[in-house]
């Protein structure tokens, strides 16, 4: 199976919160064209930058299965039952799943995770890498793996994401530039001060740029 995107999650609390959709508490500026694999990967990387794993799995309602060594598999299939310990389940109304550190969840939502919407899994404190396969990698006829996660190092220093977000300010031009960069099939640039203003830039770089002479038009 070829890895489509890899993201890391710092879990200093030793507890992961699995849920379908935690975007309300972990908000990012701008979106990507998630009709493409590149857009799906870019969307996941945007959430990684603010402390959340957010990965596309379709309408599959996968389970989270844990090996004895502490690593995880997120996937579907009855053939997996009984071979690994199922520690969480995800109802994918959004067709994605979210994972955050327990303490970071409490900081964002000012409350403990709801048992109706979230599953809390105890893990070894540290940084975990999620290797993800869009569309799933089929292990057998009945078993599909979407993600594999494992501990890779001790916890990173805490980042105050909330303080960083409060300090950020954006202009209308920056939002337009972000949309142009992330949805090239919907927009075209008809006048810019630099020929390469958005070329090769990540979404966060584009939105942090400022060019008041940027003019965009919808492409019909």
Which comes out higher in pLDDT, residue 36 or 119?
119
Q: What is the pLDDT of residues 20-74, one digit of tens each?
A: 999 999 888 777 778 888 889 999 999 999 999 999 998 889 999 998 888 999 9
How would you write the chain as a 3-class SS string? Answer: CCCCEEEEEEECCCEEEEECCCCCCCCCCCCCCCCCHHHHHHHHHHHHCCCCEEEECCCCCCEEEECCCCCEEEEECHHHECCEEEEEECCCCCCEEEEEEHHHHHHHHCCCCCCCCEEEEECCCEEEEEEEEEEEEECCCCCEEEEEEEEEECCCCCCCHHHHHHHCCCCHHHHHHHHHHHCCCCEEEEECCCCCCCCCCCHHHHHHCCCCCCEEEECC
Give the per-residue pLDDT at 188.
Answer: 65
């Amino acid at each position: 199976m070829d890895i489509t995107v890899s993201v890391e999650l710092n879990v200093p609390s030793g507890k992961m919160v699995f849920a379908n959709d935690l975007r309300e508490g972990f908000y990012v500026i701008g979106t990507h064209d998630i009709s493409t694999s590149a857009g799906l990967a870019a969307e996941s990387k945007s959430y990684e930058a603010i402390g959340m794993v957010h990965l596309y799995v379709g309408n599959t309602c996968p389970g989270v299965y844990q090996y004895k060594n502490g690593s995880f598999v997120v996937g579907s299939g009855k053939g997996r039952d009984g071979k690994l310990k199922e520690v969480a389940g995800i109802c994918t109304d959004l067709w994605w799943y979210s994972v955050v550190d327990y303490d970071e969840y409490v900081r964002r939502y000012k409350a403990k995770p709801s048992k109706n919407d979230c599953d809390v899994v105890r893990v070894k404190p540290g940084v975990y890498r999620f290797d993800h396969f869009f569309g799933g990698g089929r292990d057998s006829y009945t078993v599909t793996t979407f993600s594999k996660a494992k501990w890779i190092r001790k916890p990173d220093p805490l980042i105050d994401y909330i303080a960083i977000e409060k300090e950020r300010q954006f202009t209308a031009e920056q939002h337009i530039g972000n949309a142009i960069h992330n949805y090239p099939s919907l927009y075209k640039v008809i006048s810019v001060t630099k020929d390469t203003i958005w070329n090769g830039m990540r979404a966060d770089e584009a939105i942090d740029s400022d060019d008041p002479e940027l003019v965009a038009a919808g492409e019909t």
